[in-house]
Structure 1
Amino acid sequence: MKEILLIIILQLIYVPIFTLRTIFVVKGMSVIAAQLAVIEGLVYVFGLSIVLSGNPSTIAMFVYAVGFGIGILLGAYVERKLAIGYTSLIVNLERKNEELISFLRNEGFGVTVFEGEGKESKRYQLELLTKRSREDELMNLIEEYEPKAFIISYEPRKFKGGFLVKAMKRTRRKKEIDKE
């Protein structure tokens, strides 16, 4: 029974680390990914050696697989909580909502407004870039002001210049000054 419990615990450590390592690789954070890979490798080899040592039981292999599935859920949960990176939102509106635009800007969101032609009338599009940790907050704010808004959210791979990049540089400089 101790063996089964140990297998589940190892899977609940291994798979979330595997998930996070993969995400860090995709986001270009290779040093952190390499550090996690070392831990991941050790846990993997240790767990697999327990499952395959001596006479591997069907129960141990099944528990290993179930632990893997639960570990995926745990890893996804941890990744959502960390909310690493940025998200870009495109918000399509039927009318230009100046109140919403001003409110979002006052809350620290960079907002670019475009005017376009829909099938029947003019449409307005807001383009926003924010930290992923604020995506839900931003979606809720938009929903509050514009319940009929059509919103597309995606993760940009790279970006350069603009309001958010300037704000990040100011924050980085402030942190460097505070360290001195």
Structure 2
Amino acid sequence: METRQRMLAAALRLFAERGFYGASMDQIARELDLTKQALIHHFGTKEKLYGAVLVAISERLMTEAIQPTEVESASAFADAVSRIYLRTLQHREDTLLLMRELLDNRRRAAQAGTWYLKPFLDGLADLLRRDPNWQEEDEGSIFTHVYQVLGAINYFAVSTATLENMYSVEHVEAMQECFPERLRKLAMAGVDT
């Protein structure tokens, strides 16, 4: 793995664990066995390093979730949602960081129009608009549905450890078995369901 990728991976781990305000450039540098100056040389500031981590997450989501060959398919949105769910389970740190960003970004929220995940969210909305059940719907309904589905994925993904302790590992495994089918039904649901 090249140096920049190693830096981004270490920053992702610490930002996901501690949030933007809880992780420092010194801590990230120590994890990499580098100096803080090396990080500054590559990224300039903590904000720019954090932005680079968010850009990398957004690019991975776009590449892995939205398949250009499926754009014309009526089930393209549901297919993308299924891939997002699997990806979310495989890349828990991405999910934790994105959840933290939504909770901790009060100061950065003023610049949400340029938020790194906007193209990803717009891409999902475009897939949903292609579904015959959604073609006549307004933007509010479309984006509400996108957020409901993403919310279900993220909430479940970040809750599994707590659920295992509250109930049991077997209970969560049973939920994980049922979740993809229920999620697909939610994704495919029409406006009136």
TM-score by length of 2: 0.25
Answer 1 or 2: which has greater helix percent. Answer: 2
Higher-Rg member (1/2)? 1
TM-score by length of 1: 0.27
Question: Comparing both chains, which one has the higher relative contact order based on Cα–Cα distances under 8 Å and sequence gaps of 6 or more?
Answer: 2
